[in-house]
Amino acid sequence: MIRPRSALLLSVLLAMPVALTAQQEIGATGQVAAHTLSMAGRSTVYAPNGAIATSQPLATAAGLDVLMHGGNAIDAAVTAAAVEAVVEAQMTGPGGDCFALLWSAKEHRLVGMNASGRSGSLMTRQALLARGFETMPAGRAEDVTVPGAVAGWAALLERYGTISLAQALAPAIRLAQNGFPMSPIIARQWAQNLRKLQHNANASATYLVDGERTPRAGEWFRNPDLAGSLRTIAEQGPAAMYGGELGQRIVTYVKEQGGFLTLADMRAMKVEWVEPISVGFRGYRVWELPPNNQGVAALEMLEILEPYHLKALGHNTAPYLHRLIEAKKLAFADLYHYIGDPADMTISPEALLSPAYIAARRAQIDTLNAAAEVEPGDVKLPSSETIYLTVADSAGNMVSFINSNYDLFGSGLVAPGTGFVLQDRGAGFTLTPGLANTVGPRKRPLHTLIPGFVTKPGPDGTQQPYMSFGVMGGSMQPQGHVQLLLNLLVFGMTPQAAVDAARFRHLSGLNVALEPPIGDAVRAELTAMGHHIVDESRVTFGGAQLIIKLPRGYAAASDPRKDGMAAGH
C-alpha cells in the first residue's frame, strides 16, 4: 500500500537518532557502553523495521522511501546507488564497477556478487610499453575497462529484488533532470578536480558550471545528459550498455582517445555470483569477497592480530597502532604479489589464511620497531574513490554494497552526451611481468572495492546475520575494515562511536598518517619506533557505513567524514 508523504515524514522523524540514556547505549557486543563523544557528536540511529546508511542524504532518502513503500533491501540499495551516481558523481556512476555481499533471509545464507568489468581485448603489456609507459598510467583512456555497475544493478534486482530496474532508476532520473543542491564535502572534492575536468571538453560540459567552475555547496546542479542515459537504460535494460547505443558511444569515444575497448568486450560483460571467504574473530565470523578484490588483505590482518591482547594495549595507543600498521604491511605485500584475476592466480586465498602461514607472517612483526620494507611471504602450494551503502529490511535481508569510478572522476573521460565519467580501473593492473595482476587482455584487475559482512552463531549453531559494513577509500578499505571491527568487537564501542573514532592510514614504507584526535605523545612514540608521521591534511581516512541487526530492529551509523546519513523506519 502506498503511504501518504505525511506518514513517511513521521516515520523518518521517529527513526532519528536517540540514546537509551543521556550517556549510554547498547554497545556492539550487546553490553551497555558509555558513548564516546566523537568529532561529529552524532548518535547511533535505531529503527524497528528497516535501516539504510549511505554517504549522501538524498541517496539515503531515496532508499528509505523504497523500504517504506514495500520494497526490500535489494530494491533500496540499487535505488540509492543510482541516486549516488547523480549526487556523488565524482565517486560513482554507470561508468564504474560494483560488488555486493547480500544476506538472503529466504535462503538464510550470505551471497556474493562480483560486477567488475574486464580490460579491453586490445589491452596488452606490450602495447603499453610501446607507448612509453614504465608503470601503469592513471586517469587516461588506456585505463578504461568495461563498466560493470549497470550489469550488477540489474542482476541484483533480477535475482533478489521486487521492483524493476526502471523503477529503481526513477528517483535518480528525476534528480539528474530537475537538479539538486550540492552538498559541502562533495562540492569540495569536486573543486579539487577542476583541472582534471577542464582537460576533457565533455567532462567540462557535464560537470562544470558554464563549463568554467565546479558547483559550490548549496548551488543547484543538473545533469540532463545523465538523466537521458539512465532513461535509456530504464527503457532498454542493461543491453543499452552492453552492445546497445550507449555501449557503442562509449567504445567509439574510448577508441578515439587511445583506449583498448571493443564492442565485443562490452557484450561479453558477465556478473559472477561468488562464494564469500571468511575468518573467525572473537566469536564472530568476518566475511569478504574473494579475488579479484582486496578483501583477503582485511582477513589476513585480522588473523595476524587475533592472538594479541589488543584491549590491554589500549585503543589508539602507540603499541596498539604499531601492531596494526605492521600487520597491514604484511597483508598488503601478499596482496600485491599474489592477488589478481582468479584465472591467473597460482595460490588460493585459503593458503594466505592458513594457520601455519599466518603464524609465519606474525612472527615477522617486531613489536618495537617499524619495518621499512616487507616482502611477500613464501606460500607453498593497488587509490580509489568509491561509494559504500548498506540497507536492511523488515524481512531480515541485509545488503552490503559498493560502487566506484576508481579515481575521483575516474578516467576524466565522458563519452559525448552520456553524462557520466568512465572508470580508470585498469590503473589497478601492474606492468611487472609474471604476476596474477600483470596487465593483459580480458582480465579483471586487482580491485580495491570490498563490501564487508559479519555473522555470529545462533542458538542452533548456524551463522546468523549480525552486521553489514564497509569503509570507502582505496587501500584504506582493508585497514579501515579492521579498525572498525576492532572498535566494535574488541573495545565494545557503540556503532556510531566505532565509525567516528580516529583512524590511521598506512601509505607506503614507513609513512603513516594519523587523524588529529590521535595526540602528540602517541605520534612521538610511533616516531621513536621508526614510523614516519606524514601530514594528514591531504590524506583521506575513508568513509564508513554500517547496520547491525539487533534482537529486535536495527542500529545504523554513518561516517561524519562524508556528507551522508543513516535513517530508518
The DSSP string of 187-253 is HHHHHTTHHHHHTSHHHHHHHSBTTTBPPPTT-EE--HHHHHHHHHHHHHGGGGTTTSHHHHHHHHH
Q: Which of 152, 70, 19, 30 is nearest to 395 (CA)?
A: 70
Element (H, E) at 166: helix 165-178
**Rounded-to-integer distance, Cα 341 and Cα 425, Å:** 13
Q: Which residues pair with 288 in a beta bridge?
A: 277
Which strands form 504-508's sheet, in the order they lie side by side? 504-508, 511-514, 532-533
- Closest of 258, 86, 234, 221 to residue 166, by C-alpha: 234
The Cα 416–Cα 404 span in angstroms is: 21
Sequence letter at residue 77: A
CA dihedral 48, 53, 57, 59 (to 10 degrees): -100
| 37 contact partners, CB below 8 Å, separation of at least 6 | none
| Whether 206 is catalytic | no
The alpha carbons of the chain give a radius of gyration, in whole angstroms, of 22
Show the cell assigned to 467. Answer: 552486521
537 residue type, one letter: S
Residue 540 has which C-alpha cell?
583521506
Report the phi/psi class of residue 417: left, alpha or beta, with left for phi > 0 and alpha for psi in -120 to 50.
left
Q: Which residue has cell 601503469?
A: 136
Crossing angle between the packed helical segments 57-68 and 5-14, to the nearest 10 degrees: 110
β-bridge pairing 220-221 and 180-181: antiparallel
The residues pairing with 47 across neighbouring beta strands, listed in sequence order, are 554
Q: Are 189 and 67 in contact (CB under 8 A)?
A: no
Q: What is the DSSP string of 54-93?
A: ESSHHHHHHHHHHHHTT--HHHHHHHHHHHHHHHTTTT--
Kindly tell me the burial class for residue 495, based on how many C-beta atoms sit within 10 Å of its own C-beta (0-12, 13-18, 19 or more): buried
Say if residues 284 and 30 touch (Cβ distance below 8 Å).
Answer: no
CA distances from 103 to 72, 73, 228, 496 (A): 12, 10, 33, 22
Helices 245-256 + 224-236 axis angle, to 10: 130
* 483: helix, strand or coil: helix
Q: Point out the catalytic residue in the list 206, 386, 390, 448.
A: 386
Cα distance from N-terminal residue to C-terminal residue, the chain: 16
Residues classed as catalytic: 386
